[in-house]
Amino acid sequence: MTSPKINETQQVSPKNTMFIIGMMQIGVGLLSFQRIAALNSAQDAWFPVLLTGASTLIIMGVIFRLLENEKPYGTQELFSMHKRFFGTIVGNALNVVAIAYQFMVGLVFLRAYIEIINVWIFPKLSPLAFSFIFSVIIWYLVMGGFRAITGIFYLSFIYILPLNLVDFYLIGDSHLSNLLPMLEHMPYDYLQSFFKMIPCYLGFETILFYYPFLKRPKEAKQWAMFGLTLTTSVYVTLCILGTVYFSHGELMTQVWPIISFWKSIHFPLFDRFEYLGMILWIWALIPSFALGTWVVSRGIREITGYIKQKYALIFVFLLNILFCTIIHNRLQINLILHYLSYVGFGFLYIYIPFLFFWQWILKKKRRRKHV
């Protein structure tokens, strides 16, 4: 069985993989990760941040191998692989779990962004109103197809990159001695920081769902690796900047250290730079949320076989609006992030290698039958 060919008008260049993966990982989590990483590792926080980024390169290599090996058997994406590996019933059950996972990732980051807007700019902004308006925007993008979503990723990259470069403005007020002594913590401390950093690096695994929409997908591997390397560099650099700019005690009091960076930046004609940063940061949320919603709605269509994607979108948006309204405070968001760390770790570091191993077993069985 050969893979059904996706119409070329719906496919994108493999180079776009770099923008998709980079912006999927640079989300709301980037605004707060410095404190989270330093909770257990203090001045050595950059080290587990680097380890987590390096581990994503390994997992990405496994993902590409998994997808490339699937070419002779069917569509090279996770929904089809589940059905081939485990049968229709079990496969669809696993597809529901994969959809729920993608939905949860998008939901928690949308609600976290609403909280930031509530705290810093509009205290009385209704989560219901914001999530509704935001859902209308995402509806327009998703109905435009994968190419439209990819275009927004490119724009997002252009808009967000200057914001990260502005952080270097604070180097003059930094204290490099804050990095000393280096690597003095126990391995367990680094592992805890590694685990807590996982939600920040989530998103690159969505290539399991959009791989068939890439032209010359084998060429996408190098661009995917470059995107992961770029993201890791951003996280490590900002982690070091946070360590040298704040003392450890100060960093522990900062819920969103990056926004505190922006608050310290003053221009002659623009004094509240953090407002501009927070408003522009919605460009980091729009494409990642759109891609996650595209995956969820497409998954519902694949599982049921009769529900059109546009109707599945309505169901997904209603759920998003409902949960954004139900989640009221930071404690609930932190609780969801805590569980997301476990789910993300299990999916990336246990389930994906397991699928690769199971694919290898099925391949061996197939060879034996043909002998």
The pLDDT, as a whole number, for residue 370 is: 64
The pLDDT, as a whole number, for residue 1 is: 42
Sign of CA dihedral 178, 183, 189, 190: positive
Q: Smallest Cα–Cα separation from 109: which of 191, 192, 29?
A: 29
- Judge residue 224's burial from the number of C-beta atoms within 10 Å of its C-beta, 0-12 exposed, 13-18 middle, 19 or more buried: buried
The pLDDT, as a whole number, for residue 371 is: 56
The pLDDT, as a whole number, for residue 132 is: 96
DSSP sequence for 333-353:
HHHHHHHHHHHHHHIIIIIHH
What is the spatial distance between Cα 316 and Cα 299, in angstroms, rounded to a whole number? 11
Query: Which positions of the chain have pLDDT values less than 50?
Result: 1-3
Which residues lie across from 270 on neighbouring strands?
Answer: 267
The pLDDT, as a whole number, for residue 2 is: 43
DSSP sequence for 62-115:
HHHHHHHHTTTTS-SSHHHHHHHHH-HHHHHHHHHHHHHHHHHHHHHHHHHHHH
Residue ranges in 121-182 assigned as alpha helix (H): 127-143, 146-166
Q: What is the pTM of this model?
A: 0.94
- In the chain, the domains with their CATH numbers are 8-370 (1.20.1740.10)
